[in-house]
Amino acid sequence: MVKNLLEAFTLPSSLDSSQRPFIVSGPCSAESREQVLETARQLSALGRVNLFRAGIWKPRTRPHSFEGKGTEALDWLVEARQETGIPIATEVANAQHVEVCLEAGLDVLWIGARTTVSPFAVQEIADALAGTKIPVIVKNPMHADLKLWMGAIERISETVGGPVWAMHRGFSSYGLKEYRNAPMWEIPIGLRAEMPDTPLLCDPSHISGNRTLIASVAQKAMDLGMHGLMLESHRSPDDALSDAGQQLTPQDLDTLLDGLTIRQSDAKPEQVDGLGAMRLQMDSLDEQLIELLHARMDLARDIGRFKLEHGMTILQLERWHEVLKTRSAWGNSLKLGPEFTSKLLEQLHKESIRVQNEEMIKKK
């Protein structure tokens, strides 16, 4: 079983549509021996879970919350593996965690979002793992910093002989209404572009924070070609001691997986011609778009020079509000997403201010 797991981690490109997604599941926290074993048994009965997970050290935002059972829970995970044959994984946040997990014989470790934010903490874990071949999953940092995520993966890859995967679990953001953590899909897409050989999983449970949203997030991850999913499952989610609202029963997990549409990652030979023709059209449109943006910024420079000559400030707030209102209306009329239109306008405005400021500086 461990050999098969290592092969899956090492050869993600061999996973065709019939083998995706690689499923990691289990409770948010190991709460008791009975809870761990019963959940593992139910998940094992599904025959679809590749890796059983449970947190034994739980980094909580505030004290006096349930912070896990600690080292004693490792024995429960090992027993679950012995009974079900499913490899086991838990989260580590420091060198001590790594040492006891290696001693207990865990199959996989993952580094959480709260730890990934600190290069010092990641390096401590990397040093503790030096010379081992244990697979490691690195979750994205809590805030949207692609380079920080890449750096954590690189630190682990430099010391560990085994496979290293990435895990997208969303990003903390104030004022969220729908999701617990903002998906910001452009960040994991950026990771795929920068590190194409690093397999990428998604954690819809932590992105959603609400079990009613998990299926849609999981489908989005599959549509983007991610290799697998980490989905929290508990024998009795409403009674869970942590993150009760985002955990599924094993039966509900089974239903969710049945409902997923798994599309192929790469075009088949017979599809290349048709796809290639549309991509050529896209290339042509992108070329025109870049030329238009260049022309827009040339005009912005002219405007900057005009403002300088007439003693005007670069920022004309009334004009900006007018642009935002009218262009947003144009975008809405053409069925463009309002968030996309808003972000595009903000970036155009920021670049216009930059080039106008350059003109101001030149004349001084």
**249 with 299, same domain?**
no
**205 with 284, same domain?**
no
pLDDT 10s per residue in the chain (364 long)? 444 554 555 444 444 555 679 999 999 999 999 999 999 999 999 999 999 999 999 776 667 677 778 999 999 999 999 999 999 999 999 999 999 999 999 999 999 999 999 999 999 999 999 999 999 999 999 999 999 999 999 999 999 999 999 999 999 877 656 889 988 898 999 999 999 999 999 999 999 999 999 999 999 999 988 999 999 999 999 999 998 999 999 999 999 999 999 887 665 655 656 677 788 778 878 888 998 999 999 999 999 999 998 989 988 889 999 999 999 999 999 999 998 999 999 999 999 999 999 988 876 5
The set of residues, in sequence order, having a beta carbon less than 8 Å from that of 53 and lying 6+ positions away, is: 24, 25, 26, 27, 88, 89, 90, 110, 230, 232
**66 with 90, same domain?**
yes
Measured in whole angstroms, how far is the alpha carbon of residue 89 from the centre of its chain?
A: 18
Q: Are 346 and 320 in contact (CB under 8 A)?
A: no
**268 within a domain of the structure (yes/no):** no
Report the 10 Å Cβ neighbour count for 166. Answer: 23
| Bridge pairing between strands 136-139 and 164-168 | parallel
Q: How many domains does the chain have?
A: 2
Of 134, 112, 133, which is closest to residue 230 (Cα–Cα)?
112
Sign of CA dihedral 7, 13, 16, 20: positive
**319 with 179, same domain?**
no
Cα separations in angstroms, 111 against 59, 73, 126, 136, 312: 12, 18, 10, 8, 52
**114 with 255, same domain?**
yes
Angle between helices 338-363 and 317-333 (to 10 degrees): 150
Query: What range defines the domain where residue 182 resides?
Result: 2-259
Report the 10 Å Cβ neighbour count for 16. Answer: 11
